[in-house]
Chain A
Amino acid sequence: MHITQAMPPTFKDKLSSDAFLITSEVSPPKGTCLSEVLADVQLLKGQFDALNVTDNQRAVMRMSPLAVSKALLDSGHEVVMQLTCRDRNRLALQSDLLGAYSMGIRNICIMTGDYTTKGDHPKAKPVYDMDSVQLLAMVRKMNQGYDLAGNAIENPPDFVVGAVSNTDPSNTMQMLKLKKKAKMGLEFIQTQAVYDTEQFKSFVEIADELKVPVIAGIIPLKSARMAGFMNNNVPGINVTTDIIERMEAAEEAVEEGLKIAAESIRDLKRLCRGVHIMPIGKHTNTPKLLEMSGIGKKNS
């Protein structure tokens, strides 16, 4: 007689359900100690369907996302390990993927990666041995039991694979690239931060045709200056004039930023499959944001 214990649903299970997904992000430390990162996300335990772990984000050297993902798994979080094309050639990408799967990492999110000159080691050799579309194709092939060269992989992985996208539907080339990514078998898309819900609606129409669940990016604003800075310096972000005016008029800017983010989340909930919350700095205000948005569903 078999005694079966119901396993909690995984991120993969939830992707194929009707659940509204909540993901967030963790930056590995520039150092060897994980206690601060683990303490920061302890606040979020049970609130998120998965936590992304960034991969030398903005080309700034930090601890390997492989190590941080493993530590988060051990602490009971589900993770999405990010993987860029910037720092590893095809051999290193594949061996890290096999290592990740062996450690229990099941979800990955693939991106090209900011250029080396943007980070803290501007003389680093940029690799880009493959682009994000080719990397997605390679993961699919590994899932099917073969490495890129066609050799058999024993006990192949079974990754859930996502990618990122900007959400400006008028950017024809970006949309075309997203279509190519979807052709490679995407299971989710996490987007750049959304502030323009109208524009996002048109983006979702395109994504709907691709039949890939969209998880919309959310970055709570902290000041009007931050909004202006992002508009001028962060590709794919469009903070609308009315939001900037609200931030300028606000007495408590951080509070207003959370309020705006919560309103966005309520709007986005009707438009897409989830939100991906990326606070600048620590997660101190994240539980509050979830509560304000009415999506703090996992407190029970």
Chain B
Amino acid sequence: MIISSGKSFEEIMELLKDEDDIFIVGCNACAAKLHLGGEEDVLQMCKQLEDVGKHVVGWVLPSAACSVASYDSLVDKNPDIKDAKAILVMGCGSGVSVVSGVVDVPVYPSNNTESLGGRSHGKVLGELCALCGSCAVHEFGGICPKGQCPKQLLNGPCGGSMKGKCEVDPEKDCVWALIYSRLEMIGRLDLLEKVWACEEES
């Protein structure tokens, strides 16, 4: 899922300071799971905006903001969108972009899009995948160093890790320590021997 964080309401108000008659498009996929674009979050946003004197003309909750097929599909869900002078999308950057492509009024984001991650054991996990377009995560025990190592090192750790922690964020485990543990667990430490060449190398 796409990991986002919510902009502060003050920041959203700054974006919308010259706008009124606002229509809200939520997102029932990733943003909803992060409590940043589901029904409750959209209703809360409507209330907050109205409390500060903005007129909200309506809202809609597509299954995913990034998969809105057309303007008509939004109208089918809530014809009040026709009265909108601005749209606030409570999804990720892809959702904002797709919605912008089907409407003819200004569109604003309520969230900051951060990474491709996930949620498991009740925890949000960021930066699991770097979207590199040539997946080899199985070679690293399912822990991608391109996504999770700040230096994206494929051939092993840098010299900056201390006591198994990351040079960049000492709160985090060095991803190479995690890869080692995982490969040890599945009996595939041999994979660590592989030398990863640059893609361009011929």
Contact = CB atoms under 8 A, between A and B. Distances in A.
A binds B: yes
A176 B193 contact: yes
Contacts of B201: 134, 137-138, 141, 148, 150
Interface of B: 150-162, 167-168, 176-177, 180, 192-193, 195-198, 200-202
Closest 3 CB pairs of A and B: A177-B156, A133-B155, A150-B202
Instruction: Name, among B154, B159, B160, the residue most crowded by chain A CB atoms within 10 Å (CB to CB).
Output: B159
A115 B150 contact: yes
B187 to A, nearest CB: 16
Given A148-B198, A166-B159, A173-B176, 6 more contacts: A86-B151, A115-B150, A173-B177, A176-B156, A177-B157, A183-B195
Given A111-B159, A112-B159, A174-B157, A134 B197 contact: yes
A150 B167 CA distance: 34
A173 B156 contact: yes
Contact of A137 (B151, B167, B193, B197): B197
A117 interface: yes
B157 A131 contact: no
B163 to A, nearest CB: 9
Contacts of B177: 173
Given A126-B151, A131-B151, A235-B162, A174 B198 contact: no
Given A133-B195, A137-B198, A235-B162, A174 B150 contact: no
A131 B195 CA distance: 11
Interface in A125-161: 126, 128, 130-134, 137-138, 141, 148-150
Chain A contact residues (Cβ within 8 angstroms of B): what range? 35 or more
B180 A172 contact: yes
A165 interface: yes
B151 A165 contact: no
A40 B192 CA distance: 44
B197 A149 contact: no
Contact of B167 (A118, A173, A183): A118
Contacts of B197: 134, 137
A115 B160 contact: yes
Nearest to A174: B157
A113 to B, nearest CB: 8
Nearest to A184: B195
A236 interface: yes
A223 interface: no
Nearest to A151: B202
Contact of A112 (B158, B196, B198): B158
B200 A112 contact: no
Contacts of B198: 90, 130, 134, 137-138, 148
A131 B159 contact: no
Contacts of B196: 131, 133-134
Contacts of A90: 198, 200
A269 interface: no
11 contacts: A90-B198, A118-B167, A128-B152, A131-B151, A133-B156, A138-B201, A141-B201, A150-B201, A173-B180, A174-B159, A177-B157
A131 B154 contact: yes
B182 to A, nearest CB: 13
Nearest to B202: A150
Contacts of A192: 159
Contacts of A150: 201-202
